[in-house]
Structure 1
Amino acid sequence: MSQNLMTNSSLIFNIIFLSIIGLLVLKYTFRFIEQSYAESKKKPLMLNFVLLKKSLTEKQIRILEKQFTFYSRLSRKEQLIFRHRLATFIDNKSFYGRDGLELTDEIIVLISATAVKLTFGFRDYSLSIIKTLLVYPEAFYSKINEQLHKGEVNPMLGILALSWKDFKQGYDIDNDNLNLGIHEFSHAIHLNSFKNNDISSLIFRDGFKALKRYLKDNETKRQQLISTKYFRAYAYTNEYEFMAVLIECFIETPQEFKSKFPKMYKYVKEMLNFNFADY
């Protein structure tokens, strides 16, 4: 009896051991195949794989439909994916109103939808570098540099902070290349790409390196960037602000961006895998 028990235990152990080895082999084989595919196609091998779909409330859906233009430009299938991603993002983040601001569905939905829009071409859209979103009624005092800020990202604390007044103003005019929400979440995406090694982070990071090499090797193009004044002066503060401003312009005035700087437009589109809504 004991001999049979030992034999069965050994058999179970071997099955479990071989199963684990098999799963690891499959994992790293898929990883290798996907990286090779991403290097060639500049996009993930698979984008959406949903086991348990999450839902928004009817009120949240109405806000999305009436106040978030990007959503209305998506196909019916893409809208269903967007709603699942939005519900997931909201569930996975903590939101807090500051300086007396009362959080509403409108605030939470529109801020979260901005993050989901920018990461809609990513497979991993969680932006794990951000855990908490702080929403102030207007510009707030920042301890980082002891100045008033409209928005900031603190990757060490996992916080993204925004002025609700300035966030709304960013959407009031949709073609001035000034959008606080897009700008700050672009920073979060950029910083997140350095912290994580998921396929979308790798594509973004590699694309940014390629963009910097392109500009470094093209003095004429660099001078053209400055002379046209299409990108506001703040873009040249550092590479992080440059990337955030590029994404603002890509989102708000894509046709002008593509016309003036087609090569740079292509880099940003590939980095975000933004192949929908006529981009």
Structure 2
Amino acid sequence: MDDFWDKLLMSGIVVAIALVLRFVLLFAIRRTVRALTVRSVPATGDDEQGSRTRKMLDKAAGLSSARQKQRLATLGSLLRNVVDVVLVLITLLTVLAIWGVPMAPLIASAGVGGVALGFGAQSLVKDYLSGIFMLTEDQFGVGDLIKVGELTGTVQEVTLRVTKLRDPSGTVWYVRNGEVLTLGNVSQGFSTAVIDIPVAIDADPEQVQAVLRKAVGSMAQEPEWAEKLLEEPKVLGVGSMSAGTMTMQISIKTGPDQQWGPTRAIRERAQRALAEAGIRGPILPGATLT
């Protein structure tokens, strides 16, 4: 009878130690996540333009406070789940050992079952491991526009097993993390675009470039485009000449996936500026030069 109470007491001590250890570990995880969440990312850059550009790039690269908070919260939840599973397993095995349950057959049976389960659920394990690496490496986050194989869509939700995307047509796709072999994140870093402006082949290249620089050279300073353009548009010069067309090229550098609006605006401004300067458009086949 004394042996029973001794085993019961030892089991209670093991469970109490596990509960205290769980409390300490979860407290440490919460404090660490909270400390990392409130820590601000220092912005570099001496002038206003450089500071604005740095903030936009930091946001695109996943360094914004909202993105960091979301990522850290997900990792904190993952760590808490791991702590719970490990502590429950160790506590259960220790209590069973105290009560004299033979561990060798149990461990052997668990090993055989684990091997069978591993063969049957290896794709599931692959999905979870890939999901863990995606989260820890911050390959993408909710709201990012990504390309997975032939699929392009906006990330709606990220879990350890699947990633939910919505493509431009509105269709929701569920992509298993273990099947993601090649991934491109359009929303990180910056985007560039080269805009072709066709004019008549007999136009003066220097005059055309001067007109275009005046029309688009200060767009990044305008409030409408200040949050999208990382630098002023650059007139590159003549890109090609064919038949009756000379093509001038303008390059822009914008925030991630934000090149579409500035591209349309530059085409409109170029057309108006060239028309006001009397510079003709491409010469159609059969037309004569004057």
Q: Normalising to structure 2: TM-score of the pair?
A: 0.26
Structure of larger gyration radius: 2
Q: Which has the higher contact order (CA 8 A, sep 6+)?
A: 1
Q: Which is strand-richer, 1 or 2?
A: 2
Q: Normalising to structure 1: TM-score of the pair?
A: 0.27
Q: Which is helix-richer, 1 or 2?
A: 1
